[in-house]
Structure 1
Amino acid sequence: MPGLIRLFSVAFVICTLCSCSAQSRLESGKKEVSVSESLEYYLYFPPEYQESSSKRFPLLLFLHGGGESGGDLELIRENGPPKLLTEGKDFPFLILAPQNPHKKQWWNVRAVMALLEQITREYRIDPKRLYLTGLSRGGNACWEIAAQFPDTFAAMAVVCGMTPVPYAHWINKSMPIWVFHGKEDPVILFSESEQMTRKLEEMGYDVRLTAYEGVGHNAWEKAYLEEGLYEWFLNYSKE
């Protein structure tokens, strides 16, 4: 069920450094800046959704990697849960899979969260059972979202994503995390996930790391087939 949503405006405070021939001075200023982002997406509904008129359902937000970015929405079907859907698998929750429209840019995580908020309002979704996952560039976006929006998700699974270790201090300690990475990854080194996992363990987080021997950057081919992954998500609900 594809759709298109035009998203949000934000205000920024801008400080301007003015230089004069005799001296430099710092002047404060404020300008209204409108930033618009269009996101196309797929939204999957489980069979049970149509059979119930009042039940609220969990939702999994899936963020793809760099190779699926751009203007061809069909690319999203190539990996992760959308690929499994095209192969006939059913899931017990809704799946929201937006597309990053920029081939050479990071995910706009504020736009993604604005989309998620709108979808959550429009459909019968349980806001206490929102789950987050992503691979590669989408995995990096997962860490960023977990740091900037720590009270949104009940559980998160990250696959071979770049992992800024300082983000560990900002992530909600009550959110379980499952990390997947290929040990022979030449693009985003396995050590990234290893160091983040170790840091989270030291801080007392509920985190686990699944390392794939002999696997490169395509760890998602194994991770999204991992036995128990989707049941693992459903074990968790925000209080």
Structure 2
Amino acid sequence: MLQKLYFLLLCFVLQGCAAQSKYKLIDAEQETVIKENYSYYLYYPEGYEENPEEKYPLLLFLHGGGESGDSLVYVKRNGPPKLIQRGKKFPFLILAPQNPQKKMWWNTRSVMQLLDTIVDNNRVDKKRIYLTGLSRGGGAAWEMAVQYPEKFAAMAVVCGMTPLPYASWIDKKMPMWVFHGEEDESIPISESETMVAKLKSMNYDIRFTKYPGVGHDSWIQAYDNEELYEWFMKQERQ
């Protein structure tokens, strides 16, 4: 309503002063502040407390739509949090926030604010911040790679929708690994195929793993792949 009022007032002033060849421009500025409260898991690797001078890599994990809500228990269903529950040990910190909105996309700006807060308050190697996400979280990972091209040392995306028109905005120095099930009916594998082809045509460093006969839950095989975490640990921003 406020914006409409400014528009009408501006039109009136312009019309009323046209005969005198004068006009008055009214500047209108409105600020909208969006706040998002995130619950999250923060995993510390073995030795973190015993080595107060050492800095560690950090992996940001963004879950899929099924894990959204108001209970962190959901976040343990898939990906690295599930593996941690099983007893797996990782060589880096893992930040796993929960999207509180069950039917809305990730607010990637708020996620970045959370990430920056965690990095500033822990011993994180800023040259070794990694990004991964599955399904809806995979789409958010692509979005963050576009919006924050100099933030991450490497990214792995599992069955996520892609921002194809903005592929060139992603930093060429950041290696990527994409996973997708060939029988995915929720987010077709064509999403990943076209994005990977586009990035390869521009000489990006990208790997693509397809899982024959696998549907949307390709994250099971992707995150069970020990090579993925070894690959992450080899990456560092120059």
Taking structure 1 as the reference length, what is the TM-score of the superposition? Answer: 0.90
1:136-215 matches, cutoff 5 A: 136-215=135-214
* Correspondence for 1:217: 216
Percent of pairs with identical residues: 56
Q: SS of 2:157's equivalent?
A: strand
Measured on the aligned residues, the alpha-carbon RMSD in Å equals 1.8
Q: Tell me the residue number matched to 2:65.
A: 66
Residues 113-162 of structure 1: CA distance to partner in whole angstroms, max 9, x if unpaired? 00000000101000000000000000000000000000000000000000
Residue 220 of structure 2 aligns with an amino acid whose one-letter code is E
What residue in structure 2 maps to residue 230 of structure 1? Answer: 229
Larger helix share, 1 or 2: 2
Higher strand share: 1
Tell me the secondary structure at the aligned position of residue 162 of structure 2: coil
What is the CA-CA distance between 1:180 and the residue it aligns to? 0.2
**What number of residue pairs does the alignment pair up?**
225
Q: Whose radius of gyration is greater, 1 or 2?
A: 2
Q: Does the aligned pair in 2 maintain the 1:15–1:27 contact within 8 Å?
A: no
- The secondary structure found in structure 1 opposite 2:42 is strand
User: Which residue number in structure 1 is paired with residue 115 of structure 2?
Assistant: 116
Q: Residues of 2 paired with 1:215 and 1:28: CA distance?
A: 55
Task: Tell me, in whole angstroms, the C-alpha distance in 2 between the residues paired with 1:116 and 1:223.
Answer: 23
- Deviation for aligned residue 1:34: 2.2
1:66-120 Cα deviation digits (max 9, x unpaired): 0000101110000000000000000000000000000010000000000000000
Secondary structure of 2:49's counterpart equals helix
Consecutive unaligned residues in structure 2, runs of 5 or more:
15-24
Task: Classify the secondary structure of the residue corresponding to 2:213.
Answer: coil
Q: Does the C-alpha gap of structure 1 residues 196 and 27 become closer, same or farther in structure 2, counting only changes over 3 Å? A: farther
CA contact under 8 A between 1:18 and 1:24: conserved in structure 2?
A: no
Structure 1 gap ranges (5+): 1-13
Secondary structure of the structure 1 residue equivalent to 2:7? strand
Alpha-carbon separation, structure 1, partners of 2:171 and 2:177: 14
What is the TM-score with the length of structure 2 in the denominator? 0.90
- Equivalents in 2 of 1:28, 1:183: separation in Å? 53
Contact 1:69 1:103 in 2 (8 A): yes
Output the CA distance in 1 between the equivalents of 2:221 and 2:102.
Answer: 25
Alignment-mate amino acid for residue 223 of structure 1:
A
Using the alignment, how far apart are the partners of 1:27 and 1:187 within structure 2? Answer: 48
